[in-house]
Amino acid sequence: MLQHRLLELEYRYPTIYRALVVAGCIGMAAAVRALIDPVVAGVPFITFFPAVAVTAYLAGLRAGAITMIAGGLLALYFWVPPFGSFALELSSLVTVAVYVLLSGLILALIHRLRTALARANAAERRSSLYAREMVHRTSNLVSLVQAVASMTFKNDGCPEEQRRLFNERLVALGKALASPMSDAGAQDVYELLRAVLLPFGDHIHISGRPAAVTGETAASLALIYHELATNAVKYGALSVEGGKVNLVGTIEGEDLLLEWRETGGPAVDPSPERRGFGSRLLTRSLSREAGAVEVTFEPRGLVASVTIEAARLVQAEPSGAADRTQVARPIAAQQR
């Protein structure tokens, strides 16, 4: 965050900003060097190395080079014999050469670091732009499908109730697909899960203690549970009549544990040989710092445990003192 603000200041007021950084770093380096002069001897440039590094990092290569030259001349005049002169004795040439060499190396390294940071910031901005564009396109696509479906149902004489259910599920699916790409801040876990799982009918039962997570973790959870629900519809409990899913959230220590448990579905292979993209998505959606995902293929159905580290939880709403128990609807009655 500090780096972003400094870059913004540098962009808006480049000349004044760089001049202030150069003057401040040189002045501080000279003041510290004067204070330690009675204690430190034979190292006239010792405080100017950090000044060069800080200036180059904050204000760029050119400002760092100015600090290197101006600071070097200042140290040469006051702390390199003969004092009070820019003349050089033969014994001081090595000291000056080492200063120039090391300062140049510092400038090169800091310049590469700034270049890498600038590229990373640009990539982050592009990713954010692409995410917003994908949300926009998803919304447009849902609207287009709604229009086509409306015309088709009208021509085919489809009952009004069926059209309404189709439109509601389509809108919910669009919201679920857009959730991982949004830039929202902290989100209530159960409101997020309800929105993501809304398209999959009322066979998913959600309950647990109130909890909220950071925006980044919310996006990961949206991906994880949309993938779990999609797999359940294709292969698991939601692929057959009578299949159910219980999603329970509990607090263990300071962490949040979300357990997805499928029952009433087809027989489960306890040790599948292949792991597709969906399986890899589940286990890698959360970073190690955020938590962990563990998938178990029990005989009664798949069980997926998601642990969210305490650092990724935020203060829950005051009104949420009691358990939240809800079904992932209101969309339809039962899945057919």
- Do the beta carbons of residue 215 and residue 312 sit within 8 Å? no
Lowest mean pLDDT among 28-42, 133-147, 251-265, 288-302: 133-147
pLDDT at 180: 58
- Cα gap 63→54, rounded to integer Å: 10
Residues 277 and 185 in one domain: yes
pLDDT at 321: 41
- Cα gap 219→192, rounded to integer Å: 9
pLDDT single digits (tens) 45-54: 999 999 999 9
Q: Count how many domains the chain has.
A: 2
Residues 122 and 185 in one domain: no
Residues 320 and 200 in one domain: yes
25 belongs to a structural domain = yes
322 belongs to a structural domain = yes
- Cα gap 144→174, rounded to integer Å: 12
DSSP 41-109: -S-TTTTHHHHHHHHHHHH-HHHHHHHHHHHHHHHHHHHSSSTTS----HHHHHHHHHHHHHHHHHHHH
pLDDT at 24: 95
pLDDT at 157: 64
133 belongs to a structural domain = no
Check whether 13 has a pLDDT greater than 60.
yes
168 belongs to a structural domain = no
For residue 234, the domain's CATH number is 3.30.565.10
pLDDT single digits (tens) 92-146: 898 999 999 999 999 999 999 999 999 998 888 888 777 777 777 777 777 777 7
pLDDT at 303: 93
pLDDT single digits (tens) 156-193: 666 777 777 677 667 766 666 666 555 556 788 998 89
The CA distances from residue 122 to 110, 113, 116, 147, in Å, are 18, 14, 10, 38
The residue from 126, 149, 164 where one domain ends is 126
165 belongs to a structural domain = no
Q: Which residue has the higher pLDDT, 12 or 87?
A: 87
- Rounded mean pLDDT of the chain? 80
333 belongs to a structural domain = no
pLDDT at 195: 84
Residues 195 and 319 in one domain: yes
Domain hosting residue 225, numbered range: 180-327
Residues 286 and 198 in one domain: yes
Residues 208 and 102 in one domain: no
241 belongs to a structural domain = yes
Mean pLDDT over residues 46-75, rounded?
Answer: 95
- Do the beta carbons of residue 87 and residue 56 sit within 8 Å? no
12 belongs to a structural domain = yes
Mean pLDDT over residues 282-291, rounded?
Answer: 64
